[in-house]
Amino acid sequence: MEIELLEEMLQKGYIVVNIAESFPWKDLAISLYGNRDRVRIISDSELLKLYWTYEFSDRFIVLDDNNRYGSVWNYVREGILSAEEALESLIVTG
């Protein structure tokens, strides 16, 4: 995906979800988010660099299994939340 296309989608109010190949709940995320209006799913490691540009926004979401910091995925691993509950908590669309 080109950077210009990503910027255009974000400017138009789309929520862009970048799903890492290694994300263990990738198929579930695609099935939950794929049918939502104004949500676009991408899988592009190059665009991960842009995350820090849009980090302040709730419109560019990165799903990966990185354990550097505590995250909602710790709750899933411990059985406190289901993966579906965790994914639903990350995105709210009209």
The full set of domain ranges for the chain reads 3-90
Give the residue, 69 or 46, on which the prediction is more confident. 46
- The pTM for the full model equals 0.66
The whole-angstrom separation of Cα 46 and Cα 3 is 9
Helix axes 83-90, 26-33, angle to 10 degrees: 50
Whether 58 has a pLDDT exceeding 90, the answer reads no
Whether 91 has a pLDDT exceeding 70, the answer reads yes
Mean pLDDT within 62-83: 80
Start-to-end CA span in the chain (Å): 25
- pLDDT tens for each residue of 21-55: 788 888 888 888 877 777 777 776 666 666 666 66
Whether 94 has a pLDDT exceeding 50, the answer reads no
